[in-house]
Structure 1
């Protein structure tokens, strides 16, 4: 069964987004030596977050989209143990990566808050060692939420082959499905609330501050807020899914249909937010495309010398 029109569009969009995303990361890594802005902690977080987004892109399009539409059926013979092993791993990986992405958005919010609290010195807080510690927490903490459910062999997680459609369907028992939905919702809600508090605080600080935030930092804040809106939409869908499932509303099927586009949006919004909001990022990518990455990227707005030097602290 081939992709329908919507899934084909989403797949092409996600692939295009990953190409753009990869170009952005390559541009940051190759030009950060010649551009102080790219050495800042925000772009360090962008590079780290790319790993989670790329992993979500791969696992979702292969283990969910391709599997659902029959492109992996030939890999699962009848009565194969893979029909019981792979779905458990696939489901665990999917929700594990989602929580990693949620936590990553909290880090972006915290980074923008510190940039408003200490505009000239905030990168001194985001040292390389601290970023590594935060990254370890980001990748290890979700295991606590995901592994207990997926390692519990009393829960049913298996693929069902439909010969008439040549597809694989994931079948899970009601209890594990509800537990996973609650975990996903709880993590999304907690991260959204934490991010919301920090962004409100940041915006209040920017509004009341007598020292204007550097233009480049303000634009990075806008890009982070853009991605936060996507996280908020995902949280709304997660809450609506749990509520409709709990009370048995017919709208649950419509909400479930939103899950695929929402996942695509989660891992693809970052590159477009950066290109849309940051002139520094646009110029950096253009330097890469034009094979002139040896030239430093000029700032989009004048900043003080102290502000320029500040961005080197996290390198």
Structure 2
């Protein structure tokens, strides 16, 4: 495993991080989830990402149990706040002070830790002032419950405004967590330059495009049985936007010889590709089986030459999403 600094902060994270969206507490049984976390630890992953909304808080609880007994100082634990949790009352969502403070305390209990390394605003909340949101974050930092602050799927303008306020309040805002892959590059033209200016690094999710970049989904054919695309609990609707596009699926198959020439699996190539962007600090992988962790972690440290990157662009020409308005 190799490590990178998260933005311009002093926090180092593993190039590959482990995330438990749509797996822990929902798609896989706890025993299998614990085995996947153990595989991540064995592979040298130290960075673990979750959120209170995943499986309606159950994912945090599973991760807390999975990491129990590990040396806390050797881990970077990330979670998020924004989406509704609990019974759905008027203050059970958003980035108002009440929801942030209560959610942070509940997350710490579920994760069985006194602090989280990174607390992220899961989306932008236009109904609450940035001042209220960041004052609440500042209080969590000063209380020692949160070490750093991040955002997720914020636009370039939102990031710039937040960074300015964070500097005034002396809040360590260090990261953005966007979707990013060979197929989904909406952050490149605006979000990444704004993040670089503000000192934020990217912790990217879905680097394998929900499994599409593994090549297992073939144009004109039904999804393989047992795949994410056939499981209502694992983001079936999310992946459907890719599967409806046979041209995209056909072009993904053109990546296979590129991966084979490098002695990489297609999944490894996809994860390695996002790590070529210098503003990317870590790529989040998920898993339903330990073997998937062992395979994908091999993308750490892989360097792709310029000619390989051009081959990838040429293979996917016409199906890459670059529109910055799709951020968030």
> Would you call these one fold, judging by a TM-score over 0.5?
no
- Higher strand fraction (1 or 2): 2
Query: Could you say which structure has the larger radius of gyration?
Result: 1
Using CA pairs under 8 Å that are at least 6 residues apart, name the structure with larger relative contact order, 1 or 2. 1
What TM-score, normalized to structure 2? 0.23
What TM-score, normalized to structure 1? 0.24
- Higher helix fraction (1 or 2): 1
